[in-house]
């Protein structure tokens, strides 16, 4: 899955400014396929462009598709996810949270691991649609029925209604985190690798006479506990080793100069 596999569908949005803000939210997250159920002439392009602001977001508006129905707008999509804060008999039996949705679609939208820890996506990957309703009424029962899954963005019980562009930002960002190689986390070093760092620290401290040999075991237990909770990356482990190795080397050099 990548940004090209995702489209945002707006069902009869009222506010031209909201449409512009949606374009900007999409551009922030490398998602460019905007589809609107409605007519282009119903929107004030100047207001759209004012809120879109940046060139990338303006291009999203310029290339947006307009359709007569949600079914028409989503006919090429394998998954059509309707966002809603309202639950009910006709509002889908099960609503996923944004993170759950991103995890689920990543498994069916062509995500593969090339072996370097970065997800890849083929040209034939499935198209995923995320659907948003009108600002005032949200998705109707009929529109949500045309969706294959439902999504609920958790918010305050006292005021649960999100601005349209804010809801789009939440969904686009959540999906972006899933497909973008730039937001991939790191793999913490394994216990065996951590032992090397702990040993380096203990050796360095011993060289400068920090503790007696009999106190080394307790010191190793102390450092192993701290560093394991810190979930060090490989780079961080190497940097710590360099610090302690250099410190012990400088201490020995100073001691030799005094003799």
Q: How confident is the model at residue 119 (pLDDT cuts 50, 70, 90)?
A: very low
Q: Cβ distance 53 to 30 under 8 Å?
A: no
pLDDT at 188 over 90: no
The CA-atom distances, in angstroms, between 22 and each of 69, 70, 254 are: 19, 18, 62
**Fold classification of 3-183 (topology level):** Alpha/beta knot (3.40.1280)
The 3-state DSSP class for residue 51 equals: helix
Predicted pLDDT of residue 252: 79
CA–centroid distance for 66 within its chain: 28
Q: How confident is the model at residue 3 (pLDDT cuts 50, 70, 90)?
A: confident
Determine which helix (DSSP H) or strand (DSSP E) holds 84, and give its type and residue range: none
Does the pTM of the predicted model rise above 0.95? no
Burial of residue 229 (CB within 10 Å: 0-12, 13-18, 19+) is exposed
pLDDT at 1 over 90: no
Q: How confident is the model at residue 16 (pLDDT cuts 50, 70, 90)?
A: very high
Q: How confident is the model at residue 90 (pLDDT cuts 50, 70, 90)?
A: low
Predicted pLDDT of residue 156: 85
Where are the domains positioned within the chain? 3-183, 191-258
């Amino acid at each position: 899955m990548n940004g090209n596999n995702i489209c945002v569908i707006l069902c009869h949005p009222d506010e031209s400014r909201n449409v512009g803000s949606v374009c900007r939210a999409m551009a922030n997250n490398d998602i460019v396929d905007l589809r609107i159920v409605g007519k282009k002439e119903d929107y004030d392009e100047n207001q759209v462009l004012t809120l879109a602001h940046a060139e990338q977001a303006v291009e999203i508006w310029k290339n947006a598709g307009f359709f007569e129905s949600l079914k028409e707008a989503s006919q090429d999509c394998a998954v059509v996810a309707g966002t809603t804060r309202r639950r009910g008999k006709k509002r889908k039996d099960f609503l996923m949270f944004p993170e759950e949705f991103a995890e689920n679609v990543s498994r069916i939208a062509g995500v593969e691991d090339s072996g370097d820890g970065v997800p890849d996506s083929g040209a034939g990957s499935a198209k995923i649609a995320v659907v948003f309703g009108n600002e005032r009424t949200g998705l109707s029962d009929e529109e949500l029925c045309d969706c294959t899954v439902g999504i609920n963005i958790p918010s305050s019980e006292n005021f649960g209604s999100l601005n349209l562009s804010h809801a789009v930002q939440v969904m686009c960002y959540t999906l972006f985190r899933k497909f973008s190689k730039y937001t991939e986390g790191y793999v913490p070093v394994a216990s065996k690798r951590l032992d090397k760092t702990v040993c380096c620290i203990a050796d360095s401290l011993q060289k400068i006479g920090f503790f007696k040999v009999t106190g080394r075991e307790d010191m190793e237990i102390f450092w192993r506990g701290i560093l394991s909770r810190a979930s060090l990356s490989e780079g961080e482990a190497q940097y710590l080793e360099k610090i302690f190795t250099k410190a012990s080397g400088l201490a020995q050099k100073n001691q030799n100069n005094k003799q």
